Homo-oligomer: A and B are copies of this chain.
Amino acid sequence: MTFHKTIQVQTQDFDLQTEYQTLRTLSSGIGAIVQFVGLMRDINEGDEVSHLFLEHYPGMTEKSLDKIVEEARERWPLLGVRLIHRVGELTPSDQIVMVMVASAHRQAAFAACDFIMDYLKTRAPFWKKEQTNTGSRWVEAKDSDNQAADRW
């Protein structure tokens, strides 16, 4: 079968069940589906967070996500990938991001889903600004040194 790929950047929430059913019914050769969902936590760096605003770089966001998925596809024998990342205003427990990978076998699906999330976190142009009791602040990248290391 041909490789199935859907990538969406959107403000609205997504329905995991719809996404899963679409992926699952693509082929009876699918033996494993791994799904990652990132949810908004109500606490960060010890402070209560009431809101999150997700900024992105329209155009580059979609291109970079596509590139990440294509890289995963070159490395592992995948049958399908569905990826949705939300932007805009979010509140605690909201779904932020979803990566769903289908393959004939478990190892490929796990490895590719993990890989896509790793790459997304260090390469896709999204930025989080959070609202706490004491005001708003941009979330610090945990690996900010790494990200800039070989650029200059």
Contact = CB atoms under 8 A, between A and B. Distances in A.
A98 to B, nearest CB: 10
A90 B32 CA distance: 16
Contacts of A28: 41-42, 92-93
Q: Kindly report how many copies of this chain are found in the complex they form together.
A: 2
B32 A37 contact: yes
Given A25-B93, A30-B93, A36-B109, 9 more contacts: A20-B37, A28-B93, A30-B41, A31-B38, A33-B36, A35-B35, A35-B37, A36-B106, A110-B110
B41 A104 contact: yes
Interface of A: 16-17, 20, 24-25, 28-43, 92-93, 104, 106, 109-110, 113-114, 117
Of the listed residues A35, A92, A113, A117, the one surrounded by the most CB atoms of chain B closer than 10 A to its CB is A35
Contacts of A35: 33-37
